Amino acid sequence: MSQDLPTTSYALLGLLSFGDRLTGYELKQRSDRTLRFYWVSPAMSQVYTELGRLTERGLVSAHDDTSAPARPTRRYQITATGVRELRDWLGTAPVEFPALKHPIALRLLLGHLVDPHTTQTMLEEYIEALAERRTDLQAVRDSLETNDADPDLFRFPRMVADWGLDYYEGERRMVIELIRRVTGEGMDPSPRS
């Protein structure tokens, strides 16, 4: 009942389903470590808006941090209702095909408008950006490896991280291939007589 939340709401709710209580700030940090790589890490302001909505609907409960200084620090926890609705969503909502916004592919499409060197540089810079991202994600993956009490708690986050790492690796290989094609193809396939 009362379905129809945006996916990002369920995503944030999902991040609260690992058994701990987080502040809005911490939830944002967690989404930077997870959602960022395969969904969207919402802006701080959005996280607070979403927590407000989830609280209203009783999917999370807010506990004002006693020992609070002046401004109240709130910790949010998923409720039994929240878990139920999340499970319900996972079980019934149609699963969309992934949506990709890939500015590099878009620019490569328009390669006929710029000189090959610009395209080559763009692809090389993309490889660097990819390496950085990969490093970030590897750090996340490493932190999921060694887990305390429950070794299965992060089993699925591990899989998702491995998926991401594999994607970055495939992307790297293909972009190297594309650089070859941009620089090589149509450039004197065999020396003209």
Partner DNA sequence: TGTAGCATGTAAGCCGTTACATGATTGA
Partner DNA sequence: TCAATCATGTAACGGCTTACATGCTACA
Q: Which two tokens stand for residue 67?
A: 């020992």
* 40 binding its own copies? (CB under 8 A): yes
Rule CB under 7 A: say whether 42 interacts with DNA: yes
If one asks whether residue 46 binds DNA (CB under 7 A), the answer comes out as: yes
| Rounded Cα gap, residues 123 and 175, in angstroms | 7
Q: Which of these, 115, 99, 95, 97, lies nearest to 107 by C-alpha position?
A: 115
Residues that contact DNA, how many (by CB under 7 A): 27
Residues 84-103 that bind DNA (CB under 7 A): none
| Cα 169 versus chain centre, distance | 16
21 makes contact, choosing from its own copies, DNA, none, with CB < 5 to 8 Å by partner type, with none
Could you tell me how many residues of this chain bind its own copies (CB under 8 A)?
61
**How many whole angstroms separate alpha carbon 121 and alpha carbon 114?**
11
- Per partner kind, with CB cut-offs from 5 to 8 A, the member of DNA, its own copies, none near residue 9 is DNA
- A 10 A CB-CB count for 7 gives 13
Instruction: Tell which positions 73-132 bind its own copies, by CB under 8 A.
Output: 83, 86-87, 90-91, 95-114, 118, 122, 125-126, 129
Q: Could you tell me the CA-to-CA distances from 56 to 53, 74, 77, 79, 145 in Å, in that order?
A: 5, 15, 13, 12, 36
Residue 130 CB neighbour total at 10 angstroms: 17
The smaller minimum CB distance to DNA, of residues 50 and 123, is found at 50
Assess 72 for contact with DNA (CB under 7 A). yes
Q: Does residue 25 interact with DNA by CB under 7 A?
A: yes
Smallest distance from DNA to CB 139, Å: 16
Dig out the tokens for 176 from the structure. Answer: 């190297």
Are the C-beta atoms of residues 143 and 154 closer than 8 Å to each other? no
Is residue 143 near DNA by the rule CB under 7 A? no
Q: How deeply is 67 buried, as exposed, middle or buried, from its count of CB atoms within 10 A (0-12, 13-18, 19+)?
A: exposed
Amino acid at the residue 4: D
Q: What residues make contact with DNA under the rule CB under 7 A?
A: 4, 6-9, 23-26, 29, 40-46, 48-49, 51-52, 69-74
Q: What residues make contact with its own copies under the rule CB under 8 A?
A: 7, 11, 14, 17-18, 34-35, 37-40, 83, 86-87, 90-91, 95-114, 118, 122, 125-126, 129, 133, 152-153, 155-157, 159-160, 163-164, 166-167, 170-171, 174, 178, 181-182, 185-186
